[in-house]
Structure 1
Amino acid sequence: MASTLAASHTLRRPSVKELPERAAEQLSRIKKLWDRHERGDPYGPEYRASVLVPLIYNSETSAFDILLTRRSTKLRSHSGEVAFPGGRRDEGDENVVTTALREAYEEVGLPPSCVNVITRWPPIVSRNNLLVTPVIALTPPDFTPTPNPDEVESVFKVPTTHFLSAGHYWYDTLMWNGTNFRLHRFSYGDYVVSGLTADVCIQVAMAAHDIQDEALLGYNLSEPGQTSYEDLIEKLVREGRFTKPDLEFVKKRNLKETPVFVDTRVAADAMDVDLGDRALFSVVGAEEEGPESEGKEAPRTVNGRM
């Protein structure tokens, strides 16, 4: 059953080292799925948004739950829909991770200092053509949100395994940005998880539980010939919706103030670097940057979908 959560208290940022081995392996697979994107993406700061994907370890199932919100019906955009905490970039946000952490604090009271940022995935496109970056984060199991009533009606958790079968699944096919697009929908208690939110939940669940064949899901990930998010973004770049600055020029200038679109910074207290053999983001002022991801083989995806 879907359970609504209540008020928060003093929290400690969870460490990957404290997780059981099986859970740490799940996080490692989630991180590695899009590891080539740890150095940032090539797109400009216009029309940017971020969502925080809070993962909460469930000791009873030895797996992770995903924290989601139902948006307030007072909102003009996506009112009453299920979504991750998140929103559009503010002028003062240093990067997409900062945006996700700020929005999560504003919407559900999740303190940035208690969040362990695991990785960020490549941006995807929202229904209203925003470039949305999912930021995956380990969240304290004893976190109980305080929803902002102006933005959030309720907060609940869904097991990752819920997105790995067709038992509560259906979909719609729509024409969007010149391609047939499959709109995934999952019922969970009184909630319906759909669209971009469902897409991200599916990929988190598949990575965590090492599902590499969509035939095991009981449903298809995309429509025949459906354009991938990456190709769709490139199309929108050509049409002038998004920009793609020359990052090589930025690197050659050795700018100390990294532009928001490079996204190589994250607050030190919001990232646990014990998950892998290197940090996910470089920190401004560090003497050495992490190894470049250029030349790595692109990760496999099913039907070109994120």
Structure 2
Amino acid sequence: MTSDSQIIDRLVARLLPTAPAAPPADRLVPDWAPPTPFERPPVPAAVLIGLVKRPEGHTVLYTERSPDLRAHSGQVAFPGGKIDALDEGVAAAALREANEEVGMVPAEARILGFMPTYYTGTNYLITPVVAEVTPSGPFVPNPGEVHSVFEVPLQRILDADAYVRFRVKRGGEELTSWQIDHDGHKIWGITANLTRQFRELALNEAYSA
């Protein structure tokens, strides 16, 4: 089995060293096609794929969104959100969101690199920021945004058997994504797709949508 430290070294070599530029609008293909075309440019957003250093090995940080939120309530997500005008780049936005959502101290995260942008059927252009996190204390969910925080062992994320297909109907069309079940949590949709892309980048495998 490849060690976590070897995976981290491999990721550093394969991740983008700087945040990718937004693709031209005519080349953007959403993960599912909305019934009507968007009338505005995509919303830039960032998520943090946090690799948390634990005595037993690295874990991947996830949140369960508050059931009171209007959008994606109760779903599992990476810490993240819209990039604000005051953010000093994509990484700063991801770290700010992680601090606001779960109290992660930005100085305790070491940015490893960036994954390619991910365009959603809700018109968000997401840049995943990958970081190694050495927390000095527990993560504490912000009750206004996050219901709970949990971590999945990195080795489970790298295991192909952890992934199954999730199917959902939207606008009369059946859509599929990856799904990961862990300790009572169901990771699916955008978050599972990004997790799968992260896995295949870490293992140098071609992504299978």
TM-score for both structures, normalised by structure 2: 0.78
Q: Which string of whole-angstrom CA distances, capped at 9 and with x for unpartnered residues, describes residues 261-291 of structure 1?
A: xxxxxxxxxxxxxxxxxxxxxxxxxxxxxxx
The answer for the alignment partner of 2:53 in structure 1 is 57
- CA deviation map 1:218-249 (0-9, x unaligned): xxxxxxxxxxxxxxxxxxxxxxxxxxxxxxxx
- The answer to whether 1:91 aligns with 2:85 is yes
TM-score (norm 1): 0.55
| Aligned equivalents of 1:87, 1:115: Cα separation in 2 | 18
Distance 1:54 1:97 in 2: 12
**Alpha-carbon deviation of 1:161?**
2.9
1:183 maps to which of 169, 177, 180? 177
Residue type matched to 2:66 in 1? S
Bigger-Rg structure (1/2):
1
Partner of 2:207: 302
2:122 counterpart residue number: 128
Which residue of 2 is the match for residue 140 of structure 1?
134
* Distance change >3 Å, CA 79–CA 34, structure 1 → 2: same
Structure 2 counterpart of 1:23 = 4
Structure 2 unmatched runs, 5+: 25-40
8 Å contact kept, 2:104–2:135? no
Q: Distance in 2 between matches of 1:70 and 1:99?
A: 19
Question: Residue 47 of structure 1 corresponds to which residue in structure 2?
Answer: 43
- Structure 2 residue 161 is matched with structure 1 residue 166: yes
Whether the 8 Å contact between 1:161 and 1:205 is mirrored in structure 2 is: no
Distance 1:95 1:168, change over 3 A: closer
Equivalent position of 2:28 in the other structure: none
Q: Structure 1 residue runs of 4+, over 6 Å off? A: none
Please tell me the residue identity of whatever aligns with 1:99.
A
How far apart are the structure 2 equivalents of 1:204 and 1:143? 26
Unaligned segments of structure 1, at least 5 residues: 1-20, 213-300
1:156 counterpart residue number: 150
Contact 1:86 1:103 in 2 (8 A): yes
Label 1:109 to 1:39 Cα distance change in 2 as closer, same or farther (>3 A): closer
CA contact (8 A) 1:171 1:183 kept: yes
Can you list the C-alpha shifts for 1:142-201, whole angstroms capped at 9, x where unaligned? Answer: 54111110000000001123232335633216679xx98531111112210011111222
**1:205 matched to 2:192:** no
Kindly tell me the number of residue pairs found equivalent between the two proteins.
Answer: 190
My pick for the range that moved more, 65-74 or 134-143, is 134-143
Instruction: Tell me how far 1:31 sits from its aligned partner.
Output: 2.7
Identity across the alignment (%): 31
Q: Which has the higher strand share?
A: 2
SS of equivalent residue, structure 1 residue 113: helix
AA at the equivalent of 1:24: S
Any idea what SS the aligned residue of 1:172 has?
A: strand
Deviation at residue 114 of structure 1 after TM alignment: 1.3
Query: 8 Å contact 2:103–2:139 — kept in the other structure?
Result: yes
Q: Deviations over 1:22-78 (max 9, x none)?
A: 43321122233343x636324489510000111013443x4x210100000111010
SS at match of 2:73: coil
Q: Does the aligned pair in 2 maintain the 1:185–1:193 contact within 8 Å?
A: yes
Please list the CA deviations of residues 74-114 of structure 1 after superposition, one character each: whole Å capped at 9, or x if unmatched. 11010000001000111211211111011001000011111
